[in-house]
Structure 1
Amino acid sequence: MVEIDGHRLALSHLDRVLFPASGHTKAQVLHYYARVAEVMVAHTAGRAASFVRAPEGPQGQSWVAKNPPGGVPGWVPVAPVEHREGVTEQVVIDSTAALVAMANLGAYEVHVPQWTVAAGPGAHDRLVLDLDPGPGTDLVVCCRIAQRLRQLLDADGLTAHAVVSGSKGLHLYAPLHPVPGRAASAYAKGLAGRMQGEHPGLVVVSMARAERSGKVLIDWSQNASAKTTAAPYTVRLRERPGVATPVTWEEVAGCQDPGDLLFTPEEVIDRVAAHGDLLAPLTDDRARGRLP
């Protein structure tokens, strides 16, 4: 039994090995979230979260969960969200306690949309581009493409911030003056199309797997109001526990091997201690740009 933010929480199965390849236990993952929450919560607060639940780790059964799971403490905040199938309640990660409580239930991967519950899906306040390498490409190629996308975004008055996905690719975010999801999606699709036009042998916009060999998919569709993206600082359920980690543009430019920008939970904590939240400008209202 522990107390977090004034809430009592019974932690369970702390010695369970979730990631056999690295030896990370559930206790270590909970400890990571308890420490990283000071920077992570700024990027999840106010947003309806969904989760990849995998109580036994990535080698066991996993599923995407939107509704609050059984056993969630009553003090964990929830918000009504309208979907095509009707209105459902979803958890909002607004505190260290809520983050640890969900991880304690096996909800180790946190995903959030690009809009807040208060503003609604008609007011997206950030743009996201997911650079996903196909067979024959890797994170290094994503970094080169990201540098060009940064230039295009800057020319349109938008400031890009890079986050390695914790899996294979790279996320680019830009803070926005709120716009409807349709407008954000249309702009992101157009930008991805411009990159494909510049580099047709390297970039693809189509989701069709047959077209992705040797190319990087620029997934613009995560700007749709119904879509979510792995939250900054979330653990990713892979063979080893990757983390969606904010990185500097100097690190992006210097990436020569995918391993250069893959970080363990412990390394992310060290980075936060040394540099704070590299993604802090994403939540600064003064940094918001307007879509052209």
Structure 2
Amino acid sequence: MAAEPEPLELDAGGRTVAISNPDKVMFPEHGETKADLARYYLAVAEPLMATARGRPALLQRFPNGATGQSFFQKRIPQSAPGWLTTTTVSTPNGTTSRALVLADVAHVLWAANMGCLGFHVWPYRAARPDEADELRLDLDPSPGVTFPMVREAATEVRALLGELGIAAYPKTTGNRGLHLYVRVEPGRDSFAVRQAAVAVAREMERRRPDLITGAWWKEERGARVFVDFNQNAPHKTVFGAWCVRARPGAQVSAPFAWDEIDAIEPDELTMRTVPERLARLGDPWAGMDDAPQSIEPLVERYRADLARGVPDAPWPPVYPKMPDEAPRVAPSRARGARGGGG
């Protein structure tokens, strides 16, 4: 029987973290190992911590690598090291759990050692759970949408926000879409941030109905980029910046600068290429925390819609019926009910 390989001990900001089975291949396309994954996170620790420090994270674990089975770990086990920082979080249906807080890069390495290939991060810091400090605009490509269309949609959204004096910071999702982040000034909760996202989705569909949709129901989207406003609903998480996706090529959800929008290729931003890119170009989100943004112009647009009789956009099915929400039923089913079929 082969001997268990020696763990690799890494210095993570002054704390030693042991990486067990360090030669285990996690990404088959180029053979990156668990040790490579840990060293990647050390290489991007500064910008990663700038955006993630103090935030709870839902862990998506792939014990047998990116192409194996996965599961979400909502609860940190009692057997975890005593130095781990945790906090109590809620899921959309109200279930609570003890979640990992990304307090420093050692916490990231601890999770990576367990095969975590997905840090799904809350939009608040654990110390201020009632304040959502990020507006996250998820530009989700429907079937038939090309990545150049997603790029164009991002540019259009940026133009709208710019008209309102709001700065947004883009990143790849690590897959086919883009995320635009806005650092939100203190005092806003997730309900207000979601209202701002609904306003963006609606205005973008008014301006570019050929390209962008705010339709929650998939049957209404067509081959358009969907602004997924419900990614900002309370207790929702989004895949974290600088985090490695569970794809064979080890793609990263990578921040980038706006002047790169026409050239950015998500599949090229990987665990192998991002550290060198960061060393060469620096952190494109470096100024995000310097000037938190007011989302009041967007919230006002949402309220104006309500005043005109436009209901709230539909919520995901795991949420209870919300005030001002339209009937939560797909349009085709509503038409069938009105027609008295069956």
Give the TM-score normalised by structure 1. 0.91
Residue in 2 that maps onto 1:50? 58
Give the 5 Å matches for 1:46-195.
46-69=54-77, 72-83=80-91, 84-120=93-129, 122-178=130-186, 179-195=188-204
CA 1:70–1:263 in 2, change beyond 3 Å: closer, same or farther?
Answer: farther
Distance in 2 of aligned mates of 1:61 and 1:51: 14
* Aligned equivalent of 2:206, options 197, 210, 231: 197
Shift of 1:230: 0.8
1:84-143 per-position Cα deviation (integer Å, ceiling 9, x unaligned): 4444211111212111111001112111121122121x3111211011112211221111
Residue in 1 that maps onto 2:296? 291
Larger RCO, structures 1/2 (Cα 8 Å, 6+ apart) = 1
Letter in 1 for 2:142: G
Residue in 2 that maps onto 1:221? 230
Aligned positions, number: 287
Shift of 1:261: 6.5
Residue in 2 that maps onto 1:247? 256
Give the TM-score normalised by structure 2. 0.79
Larger Rg: 2
Letter in 2 for 1:268: V
Distance in 1 of aligned mates of 2:63 and 2:229: 31
Higher strand share: 1
Tell me the percent identity: 32
Residue in 1 that maps onto 2:284? 278
* Contact 2:90–2:235, Cα closer than 8 Å, also in 1: no
Distance in 2 of aligned mates of 1:208 and 1:111: 24
Is it true that 1:259 corresponds to 2:268 in the alignment? no
Letter in 2 for 1:244: S
Shift of 1:240: 1.7
- The runs of 5 or more residues in structure 2 that have no matched partner are 1-7, 298-342
Residue in 1 that maps onto 2:336? none
| RMSD of equivalent CA atoms | 1.9
1:222-246 per-position Cα deviation (integer Å, ceiling 9, x unaligned): 1112101111100011232110111
CA 1:260–1:167 in 2, change beyond 3 Å: closer, same or farther?
Answer: closer
Residue in 1 that maps onto 2:331? none
Distance in 1 of aligned mates of 2:36 and 2:220: 40
* Aligned equivalent of 2:36, options 28, 36, 40: 28
Distance in 2 of aligned mates of 1:72 and 1:34: 21
> What secondary structure, in the 3-state scheme, does the structure 2 residue paired with 1:97 have?
helix
* Contact 2:251–2:267, Cα closer than 8 Å, also in 1: no
Shift of 1:5: 3.1
Shift of 1:251: 0.8
* Contact 1:79–1:91, Cα closer than 8 Å, also in 2: yes
Deviates more, 1:6-15 or 1:158-167: 6-15
> What secondary structure, in the 3-state scheme, does the structure 2 residue paired with 1:247 have?
coil
* Aligned equivalent of 2:240, options 226, 231, 236: 231
Letter in 2 for 1:241: A
Letter in 2 for 1:273: A
Give the 5 Å matches for 1:12-27.
12-27=20-35
